[in-house]
Structure 1
Amino acid sequence: MEYVRLGKTDLLISRVAFGAMKLTEAGGDENVALLVRNAYDAGINLFDTSRKTPESEKLLGDALYDIRRNVFLSTTTDAKTSDEIRQSLETSLMTLHCDNVDLLQLETEKFLPLPGGADKIYDTLKALKSEKKASHIGIVTTNFETAKKAILSDCYETLQFPFSMISSDDTIELVKLCEEHDVGFIAMQPLCGGVIENIPLAFGFLHQFENVIPIWGVKTQDELNQILYFNEHPPVIDEKFHEDVEKIRMFFN
């Protein structure tokens, strides 16, 4: 497994990250525990979940219980106020059986909390860092302008944003902007919600960007095996690869 630095967090993260939002579809506690342990044994060290999927969050917490100290754990809240953010994180910590998360991500679309705001949201996120309940803070959004503002603000350590081989050129520029500002880029929906069926091409495209950590949604051992295989055997990036990618990009764009 290859590891890369996640922006200014300085965390060394596996190039394959485990998206845990669909663990309720994995077939029960034992299957989830085996799936998570197999991912861990293969070298995956970032497990991403969300308060929006509380049952999956609990399944992940149970499965990671005895190896929590060896992995990085990220969770997302879509809470709208300072008090709700605190309550959301406390619930996540209890559900995940831990005292802190490595990355707390705020999901937002058109509003970007900033230092000193009357809403006190950003100041609360910073306070949670000072209290060691969250080691790092980031933004999750699908709004391009909000994502760009978050990067340029230099207030957030990571950005989670949709990114796949059919993403627009603007999104690729967003990835480059993250690199310039040392903001870790976490790619959600690397298969564009199932629209992309050519996994080797999808994997190879994202693998070109060393500052990008794709979150692969995993709910079966076959899915995990497929992701791990292409991680170990990425497609050759040659002229034919670029031609094939461009055909698919042009079809969707």
Structure 2
Amino acid sequence: MKKVRLGKTNIIVQKNGFGALPIQRISYEESDLLLKKAFQQGIDFYDTARMYSDSEEKIARALSDKRHKIIIASKTMAKNTRDFWEDLHTSLENLKTDYIDIYQFHTPAFCPAPEDGSGLYEAMEEAKNQGKIRFIGITNHRLAVAQEALKSGLYDTLQFPFSYLADQREIDLVHQCKEKDVGFIAMKALAGGLIHHSDAAYAYIGQFDHVLPIWGIQKERELEEFLQYQKASPVLNERIESIIERDREELMGDFCRACGYCLPCPVDIDIPQCARMSLLLRRAPNSMTSTDEWKRKMLMIEQCTQCNQCKEKCPYELDTPELLRKNLEVYQTY
């Protein structure tokens, strides 16, 4: 099994993190099975968040008796200190623990720092002084915020999207984290579901010995897929390199990562899915994309009022209304 050291935290875990966002969509019994099996097979890093509904509670239900053997990372979307402390206390209660290993600001629009007027970073420091958290982290989809966080020297870990579809600026960010001894936690290593070859995704990230990928797991077969790589890690051979090259040619550029930060849409367009339709048409079975439900979703694009709220909120600075229009055009002519 490969292990990874999360920078200056000196936390060492298996190079297979459990992303607990998807378990909010399944029952307690199903999540018990997944979480216990993951632990029994060596997975010791679990990433959750206050906003992932009952994800924290499910982790506690399955693994509270293993607390000293696992690393838990959670997050707060608080914009003020009152909400920060409320989120932290709720997370501690839900997780049935008196400390969180890595507590992260959850995709803030700015990089919290001392004396910025928000009081958020000071609250993090106080929580650490009280022993309620061990390390301070930040997650983001905005490259500029991630770069500022890294440059500030204030953060022990950075969580950021990273896959073999990353551009050079994102790859540079990963290298800079190693240089500054900041733990790098890779979300969306499958690019929000656009990457269908998990072995290629795993092999690519395997090149970066300081990067911890967290895989969003909802089904037992998904868990088993990543567990097998702990026994025999995929390598960048000719077959995998050809897969990566083909996917890069097809997918890189202005594509929607399905992060969901554009939502809610005032006219209820399912933006994260509809903005990816042209890619889904090439990668998903026709039986899936041609359903009445999909037709209804895509036709909702015609109701777009060009309010540009989605464009303003997109962390990747995509022209979302134009992306939706193009995807509808492709869908109607496919």
The two structures have a TM-score, normalised by structure 2, of: 0.73
Counterpart code for 1:187:
A
Q: Which residue does 1:21 correspond to in 2? A: 21
Secondary structure of the 2:249 match is: helix
SS at match of 2:227: helix
- Secondary structure at the residue paired with 2:18? strand
Query: Structure 2: any 5+ residue segments left out of the alignment?
Result: 253-334
C-alpha contact 2:35 2:63 (8 A) present in aligned 1? yes
The answer to whether the Cα contact below 8 Å between 2:22 and 2:218 also exists between their aligned partners in 1 is yes
Higher relative contact order (CA 8 A, sep 6+): 1
Shift in Å, 1:240: 4.7
Q: Please name the residue that 1:52 is paired with.
A: 51
| Structure-to-structure mapping, 1:193-232, within 5 angstroms | 193-232=192-231
Paired position in structure 2 for 1:159 = 158
Tell me the amino acid that sits aligned with residue 177 of structure 2. C
Using the alignment, how far apart are the partners of 2:191 and 2:125 within structure 1? 32
1:192 is aligned to 191
Over aligned residue pairs, what C-alpha RMSD do you find?
A: 1.3
Q: How far, CA to CA, are the matches of 1:190 and 1:111 in structure 2?
A: 24
The one-character-per-residue Cα deviations of 1:108-150 (angstroms, maximum 9, x if unpaired) are 3431111232221111101111100010010010000000010
Q: In 1, distance between residues paired with 2:218 and 2:240? A: 29
Partner AA of 1:83 in structure 2: R
1:220 Cα offset (Å): 1.6
Is residue 77–residue 108 contact of structure 2 (8 Å, CA) maintained in 1? Answer: no
1:24-39 matched pairs, under 5 angstroms: 24-26=24-26, 28-39=27-38
CA drift of 1:230 comes to 2.4
TM-score for the superposition, normalised by structure 1: 0.95
Kindly provide the amino acid, as one letter, of the partner of residue 130 in structure 1: N
Deviation at 1:238, TM superposition (A): 3.3
Alpha-carbon distance in 2 for matches of 1:82, 1:166:
36
Partner of 2:11: 11
Cα separation, 1, equivalents of 2:29 and 2:175: 41
Distance verdict in 2 for CA 1:24–1:117, change over 3 Å: closer
Moved more, 71-80 or 228-237: 228-237
Letter in 1 for 2:11: L
SS in 2 for 1:47: strand
Instruction: State whether structure 2 residue 242 is matched by structure 1 residue 248.
Output: no
* CA distance in structure 2 between the partners assigned to 1:243 and 1:220 by the alignment: 28
Q: CA deviation at 1:58?
A: 1.2
- CA drift of 1:31 comes to 2.4
Contact residue 24 and residue 55 of structure 1 kept, 8 A: yes
Name the CA distance, whole Å, in 2 between partners of 1:29 and 1:239.
42
Find the aligned partners of 2:137 and 2:109 in 1 and give their Cα distance.
Answer: 15
SS in 2 for 1:102: strand
Measured in 1, the distance between the counterparts of 2:91 and 2:130 equals 16
CA distance in 2, matches of 1:40, 1:141: 27
Matched residues in 2 for 1:217 and 1:242: separation? 24
1:168, distance to aligned residue in structure 2 (A): 1.1
CA contact under 8 A between 1:109 and 1:143: conserved in structure 2? no
- Asked if the contact 1:21/1:57 (under 8 Å) is kept, the reply is no
Note the C-alpha offset of 1:22: 1.4
Show the counterpart of 1:132: 131
User: Which consecutive unaligned segments of at least 5 residues does structure 1 have?
Assistant: none
Three-state SS of the structure 2 residue aligned to 1:214 is: strand
> How many Å separate the matches in 2 of 1:231 and 1:187?
17
Q: Write the distance in 2 (CA, Å) between the matches of 1:31 and 1:244.
A: 33
Change (3 A) 1:222 1:177: same
- Larger-Rg structure: 2
Counterpart residue number, 1:88: 87
Is contact 2:48-2:74 (8 Å) kept? yes
Please state if 1:174 is matched with 2:176.
Answer: no
Tell me, in whole angstroms, the C-alpha distance in 2 between the residues paired with 1:22 and 1:243: 30
Deviation, 1:87, is 0.8
Partner of 1:150: 149
CA distance in 2: counterparts of 1:232 and 1:95, whole angstroms:
33
- Residue 239 of structure 1, CA deviation: 4.5
Contact 1:109 1:142 in 2 (8 A): no
